Structure 1
Amino acid sequence: MTADAASAPVDKAGGTALAGPPARGPRARTGASYLRYSAGKVGGAAVSLLAVLVTSFFLFRLVPGDPVKYMTGGRQVSAEQLAAYRREFGLDLPLWEQFTSYCGKALTGDLGTSYQFRAPVIDKITEALPNTLLLTGTAFVLYTALGVFLGTRSAWRHGRLGDRLNTGLALTLYSVPSFWLGLLLIIVFSVGMGPVPGLFPTGGMESGGKEGFAYTIDVAHHLVLPVVTLVAVEYGQTLLVTRSALLDEMGGDYLTTARAKGLRDDLVRRRHAVPNALLPTVTLIFVNLGRTVAGVILVETVFSWPGLGGLFYQALSVPDLPLVQGLFFVFASSVIVMNTLADLMYPLLDPRVGR
């Protein structure tokens, strides 16, 4: 008998057993764990989207106001005319029938027809979305970069004067209502106050009558104050989360080892400490990224910015139920999707997640 035969497993009858399938390696087990983890997160997101769809229908039925009376423009109309309006928009149907119709259409991408604009809701959202992305996307890039940079600097020099000033200013601005800060900036820099002349427009996205490069400069001019408002209010959250996460990592033995190897302090921070502290910051970045689609309702309203936030405020004042429901679903869906993407990235950043 050869050495290989002697070492082979033997069954109860005394014969050599057939070789079984090879054991799954660590990489295969890791891949299977990630697939199970991803399936659970995607399934949870689908359930959340369904819950948002249901909530968006019933929640805004509690808003006071009669959309039919708004559509009549305050004119004296007969009961027959009011009934005709209700039939046109399906408001005469029982609530359960309105709900099933709404869900069925929403699942096919039809969010209904706006009462006040007499246009498909999806068209109004598509029209206003680029304006919102321009405003909130620009602010998102600026306050994320500023928050991460100042957060890492404050944590690495914690307890010093610069750290105290950074965290104090961040906490102060983060607690300021965005609409109040926006109004204050309009008073000082748009209307003018004392020796400060009015430098920026009071609202809107453009002055009109301009094309080409002049149009781009005009839009950028209107963009300054709302972007400054959003950056001032939002950067503090990123700074504080980044600072806290980095402080938790600074006592790690691996940083002491890196310094003992002769690495410069700045290199230790950038290559070792910051990457290991990014997990909470990545969560916050993805949540904020989801909010760029939702826009900021109060800031867009204060600055009369023609985006999704201003459209939502306008629809809520009617109430324009299909438009409000559609916008609410888009806002919530963007946050859910971005949270799910953040969850799917966690195991790639930290292999311990999802095991």
Structure 2
Amino acid sequence: MYRPAAPTGQLNGPAPAGASVRAARARTRTAYLRHVAGKLGGAAVSLLAVLVTSFFLFRLIPGDPVKYMTGGRQVSAEQLAAYRREFGLDLPLWQQFTDYCGKALTGDLGTSYQFRAPVIDKITEALPNTLLLTGTAFVLYTALGIVLGTRSAWRRGRLGDRLNTGLALALYSVPSFWLGLLLIIVFSVGMGPIPGLFPTGGMESGGEEGFAYVVDVAHHLVLPVITLVAVEYGQTLLVTRSALLDEMGSDYLTTARAKGLRDDLVRRRHAVPNAMLPTMTLIFVNLGRTVAGVILVETVFSWPGLGGLFYQALSVPDLPLVQGLFFVFASAVIVMNTLADLIYPLLDPRVGR
């Protein structure tokens, strides 16, 4: 029997499964690239806004940096004018702003008034100290918050859950500087039967080398790390607990139990991984704050990091140093938030579609 040929380009039957899979993957890649482009564009706009804000905001601080640079000495009007010309303070505000933005885009954040050194050099010098302090605290309070938050959610309503949640809420509401001062009074100065066990501040005693230096720094690190962990772990605990409680009523957990899996396996293999998405966002936000440091804690414990440097620059005011530190602090948070937004769709494909 004669059968007419199919028109050119027409398929005889459904499309192959492989073609459908490739088309779906292409759509997913396209959606993810659009998501990435949108987030990167938003981050660029945020960084530009921070650059503008950092310039104008700190010029509202009372005080004359030129008078600070003279050390309170009696100087002539000609000398004050020479200082202003040296640091560009005699220029119109709009010209100062354009010069600042142009240099910042090339990585030049200006010259510190009080240190007479490039701002980027002072930041690079203090950054490792901040990363040591807040990085150590970040690892500890993140791990502690996730472990205790998971246990509290799985045993909700019990005594351990009530104690963990109550303590986390209480410590999270405590001002960090107040807790730091309290720890100094009790464990550095000594109170009653408790002797002074730890230094009152600083990063090192001086004169130590090798392993003795490491022990000395660790000794100075104890109280500020305890302060940060005590104040910050509660947030991670509460977010982890809340996210896991939302997952515990899901049908897939009931199915896993029906298959005979132990509660411990159901929690570790099924519930916790799905409940970690909100916690991941919090971890990235806290990671950005790690670079910024904690200004009050570093100031209370005289820790030579970015936070202490920021407080010192504010007291002058050292405008280039304050602006540079503010830009670094805000940029760290923006970059970490953007990374969280980019990684989220890889963990949960529903995000970014």
TM range (shorter): over 0.9
Aligned to 1:69: 67
Matched residue type, 2:252: Y
Aligned to 2:276: 278
Task: Determine which of 126, 132, 149 is the counterpart of 1:151.
Answer: 149
CA RMSD of aligned residues (A): 1.4
Distance 1:213 1:4 in 2: 89
Q: 1:4 to 1:52 in 2, by over 3 A?
A: farther
Distance 1:173 1:351 in 2: 36
- Secondary structure, in 3 states, of the residue corresponding to 1:354? coil
Give me the TM-score of the superposition, normalised by structure 1. 0.95
Distance 2:325 2:45 in 1: 19
Q: 1:195 to 1:75 in 2, by over 3 A?
A: same
- CA deviation after TM superposition for structure 1 residue 7, in Å: 6.8
Distance 2:27 2:132 in 1: 43
- CA deviation after TM superposition for structure 1 residue 4, in Å: 9.6
Name structure 2 gaps, 5 residues minimum. 11-18
- CA deviation after TM superposition for structure 1 residue 9, in Å: 5.5
Matched residue type, 2:180: G
Aligned to 2:172: 174
Listed as ranges, the matches of 1:6-17 within 5 Å are 6=6
Q: Which whole-Å deviations, capped at 9, do the CAs of 1:272-299 have from their partners, x for residues lacking one?
A: 0011111110000000000010000000
Aligned to 1:142: 140
- Secondary structure, in 3 states, of the residue corresponding to 1:6? coil
- CA deviation after TM superposition for structure 1 residue 2, in Å: 8.7
Listed as ranges, the matches of 1:251-290 within 5 Å are 251-290=249-288
Identity among equivalent positions (%) equals 90
Listed as ranges, the matches of 1:157-168 within 5 Å are 157-168=155-166
Distance 2:69 2:214 in 1: 37
Listed as ranges, the matches of 1:15-94 within 5 Å are 25-94=23-92
- Secondary structure, in 3 states, of the residue corresponding to 2:202? coil
Aligned to 2:16: none
Matched residue type, 2:250: G
Listed as ranges, the matches of 1:183-202 within 5 Å are 183-202=181-200
Q: Which whole-Å deviations, capped at 9, do the CAs of 1:244-299 have from their partners, x for residues lacking one?
A: 01101110000000000011101100110011111110000000000010000000
Question: Which ranges of 4 or more aligned residues in structure 1 deviate by more than 3 Å?
Answer: 1-5, 7-10
Matched residue type, 1:298: L
Aligned to 1:219: 217
Length, aligned pairs only: 344
Aligned to 1:338: 336
Name structure 1 gaps, 5 residues minimum. 11-21
Distance 1:292 1:314 in 2: 19
Distance 1:348 1:263 in 2: 28
Distance 2:199 2:88 in 1: 42
- Secondary structure, in 3 states, of the residue corresponding to 2:34? helix
